[in-house]
């Protein structure tokens, strides 16, 4: 295959005396959807945030499209990578359209408003109905859809998602999840998704990386993971998630 | 505080006309401390100078001995009435000699040698501690002197000020000098002491020998036959500038020397404190009595206080122009200090937000400023900034920092951290985050800090009267000194209304700056 869209090689990261990542290696290829699963504190969010330089590694390197992020301008890098977090993080005093148009505007694109409309339609929200609303006038599910639209409005090659459906109730969650799955498939965007929900990882990802105490325990396709768990820990996780 | 922090207010002050007027040739500045007798003597000095055709400016009611004395030493004022005992004890820190001539010679030489200040010859009376009993008690026990009192002390109850009970030259000293032991000693405040004595709750009180209240009740002041109390002769204390450049003024004030007896000053104090006559009027009558001034001379300055019979509302109405002027001055003090406070505190709060490790400590250090008593802070300013508007504005500026820094810091820190984090991860620069996200979200919180500072400053600015900065504190200080409640209220009511108006106005600004789309 060609150059990985995202690559971590031998990455370690400590916060004080706590070791968040220990010599982690991972490759995500263009158009691939990879899920990072693990219990809280396993290092999955830290690993994700290496790729938009929100975290710098103590050792090793994080590469985006073959380039070490340590050598990149962090502002330009972040504008080129989509990002969604659990609580959405919409700017509360900006309208929905203004929020969605953020990255196109930061990148100096000609038509941020049009791109915002297209992105909203892409996540199943009518721009005429929702564009003028304040974030607080939206339901939780609508808010996460807007956050997805914001991450994708500038058509990045890569999108990083940190528990994007984690705060939603079960029904909304599956709705937003399938809207998301359809969209990323259509756009062909590379996805790195952090989740603590193994079921979600298995449903959305081409490959699932199980993390434990700062290391990657196993990387496998959903089918392989289910049928041939590599370690007893992975087997226990599958057991607990009731997916075997 | 960094030198840079003072630049704001100082620059603003340069634009302020009343300060630049001080730089040019200014009239003689007559000042007083904040009690009735000091007001009266100062007003008398002022009128005597005016009768000679000299230009006079009044700065009556300066906060305390330290403030009046520092202002004189720094040349911000030219003359105020002082007492030899106070000069020795409070300024020189020496034990006064018992002999009044020796005491006067000592302050004269020392003040002149150290600071070039002149004590003009004493006015004639002494205002020392006075131990008083009811006339009836004095008659039945045959009390004339403190030695007599010591013989009957075991049967009498004392009502003494807490200050007097504690001081070495108070009750302790009396015990030593006269072997005085009272049956019981109750701490009483000045305000209630005379009444308590009159109704027989207590038998012996301490007061001041020229107190107007003494003339009001049938009391006998016992003589200090062993000359225990330090001499407190009243005299004009004059600045070096006036002593050198205005010989005619010195002559005019010297003419008052030796003319005023204790009976006279007591009667005049009584007119001020008990009958509520205006300072200017009593001073004019006094000068006329002494033959220094024609009785027909018009009064200048001073508050136009009617006799107590004028209804309160008419009293307020009659003062409306003056009240408006004082209110505007008050607003000027608050506005100058608040604007400089905002210019310094908002950027400081933002800078601290970027250094959170140091922020709490730094903000707490600013908070310590808040705990400095206003009078102490004002007195501290005099050697640097003199008296008047400048030190008042700087003091108020310092008081305004804490609420604004605190709210700016926490407002920006707590402005939707999740949204800020997401926006940063999507590539907003720190500057874009600050200007487009964090400051708009923090604006109502910052505004609330500014509002708190403004209301505090409206209240604290009343104390600016103590250092001659004017404002609504003027009638409050004057009224307290003269026990004139209506005068106090004529300053306190507008000050309270001003605080309410300022609060409401800034409250609506606070709502106006709240960003749309965010729940208030």
pLDDT in tens, B49-65: 998 888 999 888 887 78
User: Between these two residues, B319 and B437, which has the higher pLDDT value?
Assistant: B437
The reply to whether B109 touches chain A by the CB within 8 Å rule is no
Judging contacts by C-beta atoms under 8 Å, the chain A residues touching residue B425 are 49, 52, 54, 78, 83, 85
Set of chain B residues whose Cβ sits within 8 Å of the Cβ of A82: 426
CA B134/CA B194 separation, integer angstroms:
10
Higher pLDDT, A70 or B277: A70
Q: Give residue A244's pLDDT.
A: 56
Instruction: Say if the Cβ atoms of A85 and B418 lie within 8 Å.
Output: yes
Q: How far is B69 from chain A (nearest CA, A)?
A: 57
> Are B349 and B404 spatial neighbours (Cβ–Cβ below 8 Å)?
yes
Is beta strand B129-134 parallel, antiparallel or unpaired with respect to B79-83?
unpaired
Residue of A nearest to B437 (CA): A91
Percent of chain B with pLDDT over 70: 90
Give me the pLDDT at residue A62, please.
Answer: 93
Is residue B354 helix, strand or coil?
coil
- Asked whether the predicted pLDDT for residue A191 surpasses 90, the reply is yes
B408: pLDDT confidence band, cut at 50, 70 and 90?
very high
CB pairs under 8 A between A and B: 71
Does A91 sit within 8 Å of B519, measured CB to CB? no
Burial annotation B164-191 (CB, 10 A radius, 16+ → b, else e): bbeeebbbebbeebbebebeebeebeee
pTM for the predicted model, two decimal places? 0.73
How far apart CA B6 and CA B25 sit, in angstroms, is 26
Of B422, B518, B519, the CB nearest to A83: B422
- Give residue B191's pLDDT band: very low, low, confident or very high (50, 70, 90): low
Contact B406, B476 (CB under 8 A): no
- pLDDT of residue B171 exceeding 90, the answer is no
What are the pLDDT digits (tens) for B323-343? 999 999 999 999 999 999 999
- Nearest Cα of chain A lies from the Cα of B355 at a distance, in angstroms, of 19
- Chain B contact set for A85 (CB, 8 A): 418, 421-422, 425
- Average pLDDT, whole number, for chain A? 91
Determine, for residues B427 and A88 on separate chains, whether the beta-carbon distance falls below 8 Å: no
Cα B399 from Cα B336, distance rounded (Å): 13
pLDDT in tens, B65-119: 888 898 899 888 999 999 998 888 888 888 778 788 899 999 999 999 999 999 9
Residue A107 has pLDDT above 90, yes or no: yes
Distances (CA, A) of B426 to A5, A135, B423: 18, 17, 5
**Pairwise CB contact (< 8 Å): A75 & B429:** yes
> Which residues of A touch chain B, with CB atoms under 8 Å apart?
49, 52, 54, 75-80, 82-83, 85, 87-95, 102-103, 106-107, 134-136, 147, 150-151
> Alpha-carbon distance A175 to A167, whole Å?
13
CA atoms in the 13 A half-sphere facing the CB of B511: 5
DSSP states of A39-89: -TTSSHHHHHHTTTTSS--SEEEEEETTEEGGGS-HHHHHHHEEEE-TT--
pLDDT of B8 strictly over 70: no
What's the mean pLDDT when you consider all of chain B?
85
Q: Provide, rounded to the nearest whole percent, the portion of chain A with pLDDT above 90.
A: 64
Find, in chain A, the residue whose alpha carbon is nearest to that of B440: A93
Residues 6+ apart with CB under 8 A from B456: B399, B400, B403
| Chain-chain contact of A106 with B428 (C-beta, under 8 angstroms) | yes
How confident is the model over B22-38, as pLDDT tens digits?
444 578 999 998 888 88
Nearest chain A Cα distance for residue B422, angstroms: 5
Enumerate the residues of chain B whose CB falls inside 8 A of the CB of residue A89: 418-419, 421-423
pLDDT at B158 over 60: yes
- pLDDT for B15: 43
Query: Distance from A226 to chain B by nearest Cα, in Å?
Result: 34
Nearest to A197 by CA among A235, A161, A237: A237
Report the distance separating Cα B436 and Cα B421, nearest Å: 14
Residue A136: list chain B partners with CB under 8 A: 517-519
- pLDDT-above-70 percentage for chain A: 99
CB contact under 8 A, B515 and A93: yes
More confident site: B1 or A112: A112
What pLDDT is stored for residue A57 in this prediction?
92
State the nearest Cα–Cα gap between A229 and chain B, in angstroms: 35
Is residue B16 pLDDT above 60, yes or no?
no
Average pLDDT over residues A94-103: 95
**Taking a contact as any Cβ pair under 8 Å apart, which residues of chain B between 423 and 462 contact chain A?**
423-429, 432, 437, 440-441
Q: What is the mean pLDDT of residues B149-161?
A: 90
Q: Determine, for residues B427 and A78 on separate chains, whether the beta-carbon distance falls below 8 Å.
A: yes
Q: Which of A87, A93, A112 to mutate to test the interface with B (most CBs of B within 10 A)?
A: A93
What's the confidence (pLDDT) of residue B108?
93
Q: What's the average model confidence in pLDDT over B148-157? A: 91
Asked if the model's pLDDT at residue B306 lies above 50, the reply is no
Nearest to B222 by CA among B237, B233, B240, B206: B206
User: Do the beta carbons of residue B52 and residue B254 sit within 8 Å?
Assistant: no
B422: chain A residues, CB-CB within 8 Å:
83, 85, 88-90, 147
CB atoms within 10 A of CB B453: 28
Measure in Å the smallest separation between the Cα of A30 and chain B Cα atoms.
20
Residues B416, A91: C-beta atoms closer than 8 Å: yes
Q: Contacts of residue A93 in chain B, CB cutoff 8 Å?
A: 440-441, 515-518
* Kind plus residue range of the DSSP H or E element containing B56: strand B56-59
Nearest to B416 among A49, A92, A151 (CB): A92
Helix, strand, or coil here: A220?
A: strand
**Low-confidence winner among A163-172, B275-284, B291-300, B316-325 (lowest mean pLDDT):** B291-300
In angstroms, what separates the C-alpha of A201 from chain B's closest C-alpha?
23
User: How far is B26 from A241, CA to CA, in rounded Å?
Assistant: 89
Among B418, B427, B516, the residue with its CB nearest the CB of A89 is B418
Highest mean pLDDT among A58-67, A171-180, B281-290, B380-389: A58-67
Cα–Cα distance measured from residue B447 to residue B515, given in angstroms and rounded to the nearest whole number? 12
Lowest-confidence pick of A22-26, B81-85, B196-200, B270-274? B270-274
What is the model's pLDDT at position B305? Answer: 44
Contact B517 A106 (CB under 8 A): no
| Interface contact flag, B425 A78, Cβ < 8 Å | yes
Calpha distance B520→B508 (Å, rounded): 13
Q: What is the pLDDT of residue B519?
A: 66
- Is B515–A136 a contact, with Cβ atoms under 8 angstroms apart? no
Q: How many angstroms away from the CA of B431 is the closest CA of chain A?
A: 12
Q: Is A83 close to B419, i.e. CB distance below 8 A?
A: no
* pLDDT score recorded for residue B20: 39
Q: Which of A91, A95, A136 sits opposite B423 (nearest CB)?
A: A91
Q: For residues B468 and B113, give the distance between their C-alpha atoms in angstroms, rounded to a whole number.
A: 27
pLDDT single digits (tens) A13-26: 998 888 899 999 99
Chain B residues within an 8 Å CB radius of A134: 516-518
Q: How many Å lie between the alpha carbon of A123 and the closest alpha carbon of chain B?
A: 19
Contacts of B427 in chain A (CB under 8 A): 75-80, 103, 106-107
pLDDT grade for B229, boundaries at 50, 70 and 90: confident
CB within 8 Å: B426 and A95: no
Which residues of B are less than 8 Å from A92 in CB distance? 416, 419, 441, 515, 517-518
Q: CB–CB of B272/B482 below 8 Å? A: yes
């Amino acid at each position: 295959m060609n150059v990985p869209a995202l690559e971590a090689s031998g990455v370690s990261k400590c916060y004080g005396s706590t070791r968040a990542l220990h010599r982690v290696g991972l490759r995500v290829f263009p158009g691939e959807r990879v899920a990072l699963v693990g219990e809280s504190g396993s290092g999955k969010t830290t690993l994700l945030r290496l790729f938009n330089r929100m975290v710098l590694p103590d050792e090793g390197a994080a590469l985006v499209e073959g380039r070490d992020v340590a050598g990149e301008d962090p502002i330009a890098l972040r504008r080129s990578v989509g990002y969604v977090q659990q609580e959405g993080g919409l700017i509360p005093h900006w309208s929905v359209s203004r929020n969605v148009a953020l990255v196109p505007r930061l990148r100096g694109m000609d038509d941020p408003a049009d791109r915002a409309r297209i992105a909203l339609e892409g996540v199943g929200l009518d721009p005429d109905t929702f564009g003028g609303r304040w974030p607080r006038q939206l339901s939780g599910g609508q808010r996460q859809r807007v956050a997805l639209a914001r991450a994708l409005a500038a058509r990045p090659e890569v999108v990083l998602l940190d528990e994007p459906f984690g705060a939603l109730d079960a029904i909304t969650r599956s709705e937003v999840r399938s809207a998301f799955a359809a969209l990323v498939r259509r756009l062909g965007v590379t996805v790195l998704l952090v989740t603590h929900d193994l079921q979600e990882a298995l449903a959305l990802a081409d490959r699932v990386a199980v993390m434990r105490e700062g290391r990657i325990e196993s990387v496998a396709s959903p089918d392989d993971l289910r049928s041939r768990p590599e370690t007893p820990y992975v087997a226990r996780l599958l057991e607990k998630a009731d997916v075997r | 505080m960094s030198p840079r922090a003072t630049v704001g207010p100082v620059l603003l002050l340069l634009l302020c006309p009343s300060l630049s007027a001080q730089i040019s040739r200014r009239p003689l500045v007559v000042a007083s401390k904040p009690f009735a007798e000091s007001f009266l003597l100062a007003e008398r000095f002022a009128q005597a100078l005016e009768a000679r055709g000299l230009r006079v400016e009044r700065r009556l009611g300066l906060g305390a001995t330290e403030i009046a004395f520092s202002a004189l030493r720094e040349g911000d004022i030219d003359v105020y009435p002082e007492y030899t005992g106070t000069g020795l004890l409070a300024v020189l820190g020496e034990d006064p000699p018992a002999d009044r001539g020796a005491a006067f010679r000592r302050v004269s030489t020392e003040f002149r040698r150290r600071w070039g200040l002149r004590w003009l010859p004493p006015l004639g009376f002494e205002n020392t501690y006075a131990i008083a009993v009811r006339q009836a008690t004095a008659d039945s026990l045959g009390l004339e002197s403190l030695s007599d009192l010591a013989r009957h002390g075991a049967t009498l109850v004392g009502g003494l000020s807490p200050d007097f009970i504690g001081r070495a030259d108070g009750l302790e000293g009396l015990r030593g000098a006269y072997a005085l032991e009272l049956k019981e000693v109750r701490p009483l405040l000045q305000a209630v002491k005379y009444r308590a004595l009159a109704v027989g709750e207590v038998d012996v009180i301490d007061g001041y020998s020229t107190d107007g209240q003494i003339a009001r009740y049938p009391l006998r002041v016992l003589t200090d036959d062993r000359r225990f109390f330090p001499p407190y002769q009243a005299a004009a204390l004059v600045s070096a500038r006036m002593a050198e450049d205005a010989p005619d003024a010195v002559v005019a004030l010297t003419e008052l020397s030796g003319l005023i007896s204790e009976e006279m000053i007591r009667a005049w104090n009584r007119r001020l404190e008990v009958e509520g006559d205006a300072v200017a009027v009593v001073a004019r009558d006094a000068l006329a009595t002494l033959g220094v001034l024609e009785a027909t001379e018009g009064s200048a300055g001073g508050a136009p206080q009617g006799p107590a019979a004028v209804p309160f509302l008419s009293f307020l109405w009659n003062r409306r122009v003056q009240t408006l002027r004082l209110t505007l001055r008050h607003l000027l003090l608050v506005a100058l200090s608040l604007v400089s406070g905002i210019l310094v505190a908002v950027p400081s709060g933002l800078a601290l937000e970027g250094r959170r490790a140091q922020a709490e400590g730094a903000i707490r250090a600013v908070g310590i400023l808040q705990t400095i008593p206003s009078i102490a802070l004002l007195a501290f300013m005099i050697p640097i900034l003199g008296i008047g508007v400048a030190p008042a504005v700087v003091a108020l500026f310092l008081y305004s920092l804490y609420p604004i820094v605190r709210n700016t810091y926490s407002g920006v820190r707590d402005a939707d951290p999740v949204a800020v984090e997401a926006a940063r991860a999507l590539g907003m620069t720190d500057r874009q985050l600050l200007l487009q996200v964090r400051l708009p979200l923090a604006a109502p919180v910052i505004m609330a800090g500014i509002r708190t500072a403004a209301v505090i400053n409206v209240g604290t600015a009343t104390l600016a009267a103590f250092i001659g900065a004017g404002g609504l504190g003027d009638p409050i200080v004057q009224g307290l000194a003269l026990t004139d409640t209506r005068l106090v209220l004529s300053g306190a009511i507008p000050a309270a209304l001003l605080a309410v108006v300022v609060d409401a106005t800034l409250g609506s600004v606070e709502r106006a700056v709240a960003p749309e789309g965010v729940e208030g």
